């Protein structure tokens, strides 16, 4: 049952927002230090978001060009049965005097599902991997492509997670603490998606650089 192993993006967003913006502090000095680093992380995210738009726009441009070429290649022409008055003068030379119609298929049948390795070995490359993922998320958003982004991990043993399966002998299965973290989805509106991306960036920034207290529930 896939629903038992997925933590949805709304839950993750709420948890991280409460953790980062509702954390308690030991004293004023601790508060100043942690909030300063938190807002620095937010600024880093906004800066990268701005810098990445050129690359994202290029990806969208290339995608639209290839899509148009593909549609042109698949376009089909057929006779309509209606006489083309501009071709009547050729009736003694050819029977092809009918109007033609070109059908271009425009249906969408694609989407992207991305899986991020959320294991401890990713600590030193996770921030760069996340940036690559963000480029693809912004590309999908602009190109109108449905997408999902999941992180996969085995969570901590003391967490109250319902097992996804009932393990049986000689059957290949998942361990009971396996979890899929749904970070982002094309079903989110623009504001919600941006908030989730900023919070996940902050969680990764905290895990990689240690200047902010990251949330243990979503650690590597």
Q: Which residues contact 91 (CB under 8 A, 6 or more apart)?
A: 97
pLDDT of amino acid 4: 77
3-class state of residue 79 by DSSP: strand
Q: According to the model, what pLDDT value does residue 153 have?
A: 85
At 53 the pLDDT is 94
Buried b / exposed e along 50-76 (16+ C-beta atoms within 10 A): eebeeebeebbeeeeeeeeeeeeeeee
Q: Could you tell me if 164 and 176 are in contact, meaning their C-beta atoms sit under 8 angstroms apart?
A: yes
Q: Kindly list the averaged pLDDT for each block of 10 residues, start to end, along the chain of length 220.
A: 85 94 82 87 95 94 81 58 67 66 64 93 93 96 94 68 67 79 96 96 92 89
Q: Long-range CB contacts (< 8 A, 24+ apart) of 68-72?
A: 71/104, 71/105, 71/106, 72/104
What is the SS3 assignment for 110-143? Answer: CCEEEEEECCHHHCCCHHHHHHHHHHHHHHHHHH
pLDDT of residue 185: 97
Please check whether residue 186 is in contact with residue 147, taking contact to mean a CB–CB distance below 8 angstroms: yes
Q: What is the pLDDT of residue 158?
A: 46
């Amino acid at each position: 049952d896939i629903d038992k192993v997925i933590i949805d993006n709304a839950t993750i967003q709420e948890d991280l927002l409460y953790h980062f913006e509702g954390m308690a502090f030991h004293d004023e000095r601790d508060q100043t230090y942690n909030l300063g680093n938190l807002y620095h992380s937010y600024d880093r995210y906004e800066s990268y978001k701005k810098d990445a738009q050129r690359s994202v726009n290029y990806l969208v441009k290339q995608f639209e060009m290839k899509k148009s070429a593909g549609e042109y290649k698949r376009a089909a022409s057929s006779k309509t049965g209606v006489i083309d008055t501009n071709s009547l003068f050729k009736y003694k030379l050819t029977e092809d005097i009918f109007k033609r119609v070109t059908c271009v298929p425009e249906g969408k049948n694609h989407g992207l599902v991305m899986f991020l390795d959320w294991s401890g070995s990713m600590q030193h490359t996770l921030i760069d991997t996340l940036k690559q993922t963000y480029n693809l998320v912004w590309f999908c958003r602009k190109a109108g492509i449905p997408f999902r982004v999941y992180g996969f991990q085995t969570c901590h043993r003391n967490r109250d997670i319902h097992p996804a399966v009932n393990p049986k002998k000689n059957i290949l299965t998942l361990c009971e603490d396996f979890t899929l973290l749904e970070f982002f989805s094309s079903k989110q509106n623009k504001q919600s998606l941006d908030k989730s991306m900023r919070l996940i960036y902050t969680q990764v920034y905290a895990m990689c650089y240690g200047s902010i207290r990251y949330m243990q529930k979503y650690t590597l």
